[in-house]
Copies of this chain bind each other. A is one copy, B any other.
Amino acid sequence: MSSSYGENIRLSIFGQSHAPAVGMTLEGIPAGLPLDMAALEAFLLRRAPGRNDWSTARREADKPEFLCGLKDGVTCGAPITAIIRNTDQRSGDYEKLKTVPRPGHADYTAQVKFGGRQDAAGGGHFSGRLTAPLCIAGAICLQLLGRAGIRVISRIAAIGGVEDKGELLASTAEKAFPTVDDGRGREMAEKIAQAKAAGDSLGGIVECRVLGLPAGLGDPMFGGMENRIAAVVFGIPAVKGIEFGAGFAAAALPGSKMNDPFLWEDGAVRTEGNKAGGILGGITDGMPLCFRAAIKPTPSIALPQRSVDLASGQAAELRVPGRHDPCIVPRAVPCVEAAAAIAVADALLGRRKDALD
């Protein structure tokens, strides 16, 4: 199903941008996990709009209401459902999108798929707003992973062609604008400001690492960690590519440079370098799991764009109404972390089935 994910946990995401609520149900989280709500809300805040210059002016509390799955703040084994009310809606802004679809958006494809019955307002079920419940699920999974010593960190690796420098460390991930090189970070922010002024938008790259993973997670073939993570990450609107370890650069390397030699370190098997991105044969090797996701520029821009009028069969010019981020990459960072956490939590629970007795 389109809005469900998971083999050992089961995540179901629901809602439309301008429906009464968006939300998620997460099944399969073991009973007994005390949810740290402050941590969860802090995580959601990283995704929330309206916090600074580069995000939309639409302000939302994004405070989830947990409907079930908890008993005195601790998971009780039943499915966990949390919702976020949609309070700040201006549906009128979106009236025209059913007949004149926005380039780069799902307006047209939703129209075809649902025969014109889709809820077009705000992008409906295709809205980036659906990443809010994704982040709720991710925050829960992060807390589950945390008990196993697993941590997910990430940075903005590039925006609008400006690339960050240096290696992603845990300290980077804690910054408000998570780049290793703050100078590059400022360049990116400057680029965003320029794009905003020009009525345009920018994309970028998010780099993510999962630290503290045991070796042995994942499965062969379609159950590989790459398959699993890609299956969630591409659920974030705007992701157009994903690469693990050396990724596309691996295509230009000889085997003698790509293969990470094995070595012993403190009695454990490690690799020298990590071009594999912590995954061999789809299964974690105990090194950090590293991947990068390409985020396209926000399709909603103020600049006039050429579209078509589906009703009249004529060409049409469009200026996208509403308030939109000139660059969603900063807000995509926690979404990518959430996606990684969900996929890894699913694999972690699945690992338990491997032992014979």
Contacts and interface: CB of A to CB of B under 8 A. Distances in A.
A174 interface: no
Contacts of A261: 103, 305-307
Contact of A255 (B22, B200, B263, B277): B200
Contact of A222 (B15, B70, B231): B231
A298 B115 CA distance: 46
A256 B200 contact: yes
Interface string A255-281: 110111111100101011000110111
B262 A306 contact: yes
B240 A244 contact: yes
A350 B119 CA distance: 21
A314 B20 CA distance: 51
Interface in A232-249: 232, 234-235, 237, 239-248
A68 B22 contact: yes
B243 A234 contact: no
B240 A247 contact: yes
Given A255-B202, A258-B203, A223 B3 contact: yes
Interface string A117-132: 1110000111000100
A147 interface: yes
Interface stretch (A41-49, A55-63, A164-172, A289-297): A289-297
Contacts of A80: 14
A31 interface: yes
Nearest to A83: B67
Most B CB atoms within 10 A — which of A19, A262, A269?
A: A262
Contacts of A76: 16, 114, 117-119, 124-125
A117 B71 contact: yes
A37 interface: no
Interface string A1-40: 1111111101011111001111101011011110000000
B30 A305 contact: no
A265 to B, nearest CB: 10
Contacts of A237: 281
A21 B231 contact: no
A276 B108 CA distance: 13
Given A255-B104, A313-B264, A115 B31 contact: yes
Pick the 4 closest A-B CB pairs, nearest first: A106-B281, A2-B223, A2-B219, A241-B243
Given A32-B115, A79-B125, 9 more contacts: A1-B222, A16-B71, A30-B353, A104-B259, A108-B215, A125-B221, A161-B252, A240-B245, A255-B303
